[in-house]
Amino acid sequence: MSKGRRDGGGLESPQRRHLLGRGAALVGGAVVSGTVAAQEAGSEPNGPPNIPDWMKVPGADVGSEPYGTPSPFEKQVVRNIPKGLPQYISASSRTPLQELDGIITPNGLFYERHHGGIPEIDPGQHRLMVHGLVETPLILTMADIRRFPSESRIHFIECSGNPGFEAMSGRTASDLVGLVSCAEWTGVPLKTVLAEAGLRPEAKWVVAEGADAAALTRSIPIDKCLDDAMLVYSQNGERLRPQQGYPLRVLLPGFEGNMNVKWLRRLNVTAEPAHSREETSKYTDSMPDGTARQFTFYMEAKSIITRPSGTQRIDRGYNEITGIAWSGHGRITQVEVSVNDGRTWTVAQLQAPVLTRALTRFRLPWTWDGTPTAILSRATDETGYVQPDFKALTQVRGMKSFYHNNAIIPWRIAESGAVSNGFVKA
């Protein structure tokens, strides 16, 4: 670990200085002192010692909004819908990562990717068929599925094209890697349902099919099905939203997002994979020698700084660097941050809880001295794998591939404090 001052600012403990260079002094953590600070505060109509306007009248009726909504002052915190992509049939939206704290993505901001539009499914009429290499084929209603013993677990889902190798020009964290989100999922372990049906010895794969117009189909190795795979019907405590597969979807922790089949209607137990459209012409990785990698299920270790990040602006002095890290192979064990374009690295603090196959929040105190620089993060997971930089990754993978780009992402900070994408030349 590197310590002390370096290009772009210092990394000493914030307890050794005033955190903010102007405004009020912090005395005992609670007292505003200083004549200038008091005069500045008194000049604000709704600041102390004045009584703010919102204390002078009763507030809104608790029943005015049947479903709770955010503050109108947070109206900019919305899903990022790409303007250049026709938002019909095959479409996507991105999570505004740079606007969020913690590790849980609110349901209304969870990223989307769908291939045949969003079906409107009546849960009372929906059925799940389990057939193929099983002893007892099943047709289950949603009521049947909810009778099985349930679990709740926190996991991320990430699109494997987050981002493509030639799609590194986004302005914000959301533009670059907004196709990742994390939630608490509730449902039934898939192995419980398969045990109810009874697997035959030759069962090696389970082919999952969605009830959307695309009938999206993916093949899941039986080992994953009998490990941590789930059939989920709730997300963050409420039923799945239609965009997330209502009333039932597959959850495969750590696997690429496309495999977490939404609107699940069929599980066909087989001896061979289906080699469907989504695992042949799509979701395969083109290599420099002309071959293609298939069934690259796991999402590798990855991280991104979300504050400060693209389109934001910082002041000289103390700033907290924070972001998220994740790995399909398990827990994040370390995140390092560089404040001098990768010349030296400092280990960041990981915020609890640090969970397997979930987003992990990291934080690092930093004092910026106003020198232009670049900041970046790299993650290490419990297998010992270290997130590579873009040059090292493309030396192996080339530029023909679209999927599984987990390269380090730099943010460039100008003398003005403006933050921009480090992949884009100023």
Instruction: Tell me if 307 sits within 8 A of 416, measured CB to CB.
Output: no
The whole-number average pLDDT for the span 9-26 is: 53
| Ramachandran region, residue 247 (left: φ > 0; alpha: ψ -120 to 50; beta: rest) | alpha
pLDDT for res 42: 56
**How does DSSP classify residue 147?**
H
Instruction: Tell me if 274 sits within 8 A of 207, measured CB to CB.
Output: yes
Q: Is 201 helix (H, G, I), strand (E, B) or coil?
A: coil
d(CA 396, CA 381): 20
Q: Is the pLDDT of residue 36 over 50?
A: no
CATH code of the region 106-283 = 3.90.420.10
The whole-number average pLDDT for the span 275-298 is: 93
pLDDT for res 153: 98
The total of other beta-carbon atoms located within 10 Å of residue 38's CB is: 14
Query: How large a percentage of the chain has pLDDT more than 70?
Result: 88
Instruction: Tell me if 372 sits within 8 A of 7, measured CB to CB.
Output: no
The CATH 3.90.420.10 portion of the chain extends over 106-283
The CATH 2.60.40.650 portion of the chain extends over 302-421
Q: Is the pLDDT of residue 17 over 80?
A: no
CATH code of the region 302-421 = 2.60.40.650
Tell me the two tokens of residue 361: 């929040």
User: What's the pTM value of the predicted model, to 2 decimals?
Assistant: 0.90
pLDDT tens string 57-102: 988 888 777 888 899 999 999 999 887 766 567 789 999 999 999 9
pLDDT for res 43: 76
pLDDT for res 8: 53
The whole-number average pLDDT for the span 319-338 is: 98
The whole-number average pLDDT for the span 322-345 is: 98
pLDDT for res 400: 85
Give the residue among 418, 283, 413, 422 at the shortest CA–CA distance from 7. Answer: 413
pLDDT tens string 207-250: 999 999 999 999 999 999 999 999 999 999 999 999 999 999 99
pLDDT tens string 244-277: 999 999 999 999 999 999 999 999 999 999 999 9
Q: Is the pLDDT of residue 38 over 70?
A: no
